[in-house]
Amino acid sequence: MSRASGDSGHGGVNIDHREIARFESQADQWWNPEGPCRSLHDINPLRAGYIAARAGVAGKSLLDVGCGGGILTEALARMGAKMTGIDMGEKPVDAAGRHAAASGLTIRYERTSPEEFARQAPASFDGVVCMELLEHVPDPQAVVHACSVLVRPGGDVFFSTLNKTLKSFVFAILGAEYILRLLPKHSHDWRRFIRPEDLSAWARASGLEPVHAVGLHYNPFRRTYALGGDLHVNYMMHFKRPSAGPTA
Ligand code: SAH
């Protein structure tokens, strides 16, 4: 029997347990800016700024899908969003909850999958952000579909991931994991990287409209990131769920 891509979360099918275990093992270091999540800390102001500039954040109800320890979730909460974060890792979600409480932030965290949450809370959020998750799941299209279900009509969806190019192999695997050691070895599997045209096609198939794409460029000498037009390594994409028409 054929299966719709959005159904693959049943019974936790769309989960790579080795990936979850790796993130569980890093959870107590999640908020260490020099630890294994260092690059997430370094890119955070840029990605939060991108989301705020494109969609507005203050006063919005936003969902962070695959939120991990809450680095982006907290940044968006500080900018005035009402935040919910979901993740399949128990320890990352615990670390996120503890850190938010210690920071005096009110954020709802839940350990669940995007697909399961989409069944519980369709069309519930003004915006959905899903950063650095798609390249860690067996069926990323199902996660894209879940995000399209979770956002309300007229809302915004943001993804970030790694492109599947020779350049991304050289920079994101060889450079980041083996030469500069920005990331622990085996953080990424190049075969799971995603071309922007595939991400766009999956999003369109779920009714989302691509609006904008931007590259995230790392300067290893200055240890800084900048936004730019080159999507060959790390990139973010902004989609919109069309508003319901007057007769819809
Ligand atoms: N989005 C966060 C964390 C990225 S790390 C950030 O950018 O700061 C990837 C996260 O995805 C980890 O916390 C991991 O536990 C989670 N994850 C991996 N597979 C998942 C799945 N199938 N469903 C939900 N979360 C998943």
Beta 108-111 vs 82-87: how paired, if at all? parallel
Closest ligand 1 atom to the C-alpha of 19? 18
pLDDT at 12: 56
Per-residue pLDDT, averaged over 30-36, amounts to: 95
How does residue 220 score in pLDDT terms, banded at 50, 70 and 90?
confident
This prediction has a pTM of 0.93
Q: What percent of the chain has pLDDT over 70?
A: 94
Residues, the chain, total?
A: 248
Of 159, 158, 156, 150, give the one whose Cα is nearest residue 243.
156
Domain boundaries, the chain: 17-240
With a Cβ cut-off of 6 Å, ligand 1 is lined by 14-15, 19-20, 23, 40, 66-68, 71-72, 87-89, 92, 113-114, 131-133, 136-137
pLDDT at 231: 97
Has residue 138 got a pLDDT over 50?
Answer: yes
pLDDT at 3: 39
Distance 182 CA to ligand 1 centre (A): 18
Q: How far apart are CA 151 and CA 208, in angstroms?
A: 10
Has residue 160 got a pLDDT over 50?
Answer: yes
Tens-place pLDDT, residues 85-116 = 999 999 999 999 999 999 999 999 999 999 99
Residue of 22, 39, 51, 88 to mutate, ligand 1, most atoms within 8 A of C-beta: 88
Q: How far apart are CA 120 and CA 118, in angstroms?
A: 5
Architecture of domain 17-240: 3-Layer(aba) Sandwich (3.40)
